A and B are shown apart, each in its own frame.
Chain A
Amino acid sequence: MTDIHVPIQLPEFDLPEDKLAQDAEAPVERESSFASRALPKILAPLIVGILFVGGWEAAVRAYKIPYYVLPGPFTIVETLISDWGVLWASLLVTLTVTFQALFLAAFFGASLAILFSQSKLIEMSFFPYAVILQVTPIVAIAPLIIIWADDVRIALLICAWIVAFFPILSNTTLGLHSADHNLKNLFQLYRATRWQTLRFLKLPAAMPYFLAGLKISGGLSLIGAVVAEFVAGTGGRGSGLAYRILEAGFQLKIPRLFAALLLISLTGVVIFLIMSLISHLLLRTWHESAIRTEN
């Protein structure tokens, strides 16, 4: 044992204090083992998918199901390649409507939410109508909009926008109200202007909420674009994937119907991935939703 001859008066803290305190105040560590986490996340659903598609193809061949009832995955991919010219043109149309609608929804949803956050009276006056717009099924209003709008493309855009805009509005409104109470007090204490409070406090606090809304709206604007085109039912050169599905159904070109369906699903997945990526890139430095922690 070492002898304890430290004089009592000696400030016992002073020597080890700096080290101790530094340990106690050490920065929190981050962790980033991507491979061990992501691999099963990709592999597991991939195996399920391969099994499903393989079973499908096997069943179609074994029971000799005619292609106009249920085409096998192989036939669908074949059609996708052979009909690519028509399908690609339609995909572009659907994509254009979808992204225009999403952009307008993000812009108007966020702007309206900011307006609401500036005046309780405006919020109270208009929010119920936004709700009404949201709860009314789009298929019910689509015929009206198609009649009113001169251009079918504009009509599709309006329908897709109506569906996509509400999640962004309601999420951003919630987000703008969500800033920490003490931080609000601090801004008040420093006599921040309305604009400063919005710019430095409310908008950053609302960002995760806005992005969550954007993720939902990405899928919804695609659904809106497709549903509205079904209702419109107009063909021609400038028609999107939904019309290709209708058309293929009438003409009993079932493999093409499936190919168009596949493209719509893939588009939805890609939109979701893009929105997730945007959200991750914008929030990764600070928000819990974008941070992987070890435990």
Chain B
Amino acid sequence: MSVVPLRVPAAETAQEPLRLKPAVRLTKVSKRFSNGTLAVEDFSFAFPQHGFISLLGPSGCGKSTILRMIAGLNRPSSGRIDWPNAVHDAAGQPERNLAFVFQEATLMPWATAIANVMLPLRLAGVSKDEARERSQVALAQVGIDDFANAYPRELSGGMKMRVSIARAIVERPRVLLMDEPFAALDEITRFKLNKDLLRLWQESNFTVVFVTHSVFESVFLSQHVLLMAARPGRVMARVPVDAPYPRDELFRTSAVYNERCRMVLELLGQASGHD
């Protein structure tokens, strides 16, 4: 193993300055389901603080499984998931402080938009008044504070997703996990939500792990695209997208964007060529 001079070896994380520690680090994480499916094999990646990382790959390559393991909804069969930067509670469990956005908005149909956004705060024991106030702010951040008292069925797909995002950010998470959040939306709504998500991310300091199967979306949004392949699910390549933020519609027509999209497409093509 070649050690780059002046870099702190991974084992000595305690000595790393706080801001350099990754938000969450996966080390050789594998997941085999009880039915024998090897959904993820040897996934290693350190998600930097305030990073925006996309997982891109065909369906079935284990993207959702990785998110669910980070969220603690599934246990890895082997490997480790660390939260080097998190406060540990009395039981030694890390305060993960994360939020999840599903492909469906996953709102409670019996509750108004604001009541849905209040949920994480209410579950955490925040008083009703304070929860309402903070939820109103979160709804304003995603631009739908006018619809605070609407029921989910009265909202369009894009608006529901905004409520879902407001619910995710209301608790100011360190890590925001998003599983193909915009896949069910039309392109116009999707572009707008892409831009608004980037703005939200820049205004705050959470880390985004963004799962998508859209090449263009992943390149537009993220600092790094992790290209994944299926059977078994694994990382095939890591493509950095080193364009500055804020990124807007101009970026969609820039040379960097086009070049990165082509590169990712080519890599994906090579991967599927073996099938």
Contact = CB atoms under 8 A, between A and B. Distances in A.
Do A and B associate with each other? yes
Interface of A: 8-9, 11-14, 17, 20-21, 24-28, 30, 180, 182-183, 185-192, 196, 200-201, 204-205, 207, 285-287, 291
Nearest to B249: A11
A57 B122 CA distance: 65
In order of increasing CB-CB distance, the 10 nearest A-B pairs are A25-B158, A11-B249, A182-B106, A21-B192, A204-B110, A190-B123, A286-B109, A286-B110, A25-B156, A24-B189
A196 B100 CA distance: 19
Contacts of B98: 189
A9 B250 CA distance: 7
Contacts of A190: 119-120, 123-124
A24 B188 contact: yes
Contacts, number: 91
Contacts of B120: 190
B20 interface: no
Contact of A189 (B71, B108, B157, B159): B71
B249 A14 contact: yes
Contacts of A183: 106, 108
B153 interface: yes
B116 to A, nearest CB: 10
A189 B100 contact: yes
A45 to B, nearest CB: 31
Nearest to A201: B108
A291 B124 CA distance: 33
A28 B189 contact: no
A152 B136 CA distance: 58
A14 B73 CA distance: 40
Contacts of A28: 153-156
B156 A185 contact: no
A20 B188 contact: yes
Interface in B110-136: 110-111, 119-120, 122-124
Nearest to B196: A21
Contacts of B201: none
Contacts of B72: 189
A24 B157 CA distance: 9
6 contacts: A21-B158, A27-B156, A28-B154, A183-B106, A191-B123, A286-B153
B149 to A, nearest CB: 10
Interface string B181-220: 0000010110110000000000000000000000000000
Contacts of A205: 110
Nearest to A20: B188
A182 B71 CA distance: 13
A189 B73 contact: yes
A196 B153 contact: no
A286 B249 contact: no
A207 B111 CA distance: 13
A28 to B, nearest CB: 6
A27 B188 contact: no
A283 to B, nearest CB: 8
Interface in B13-55: none
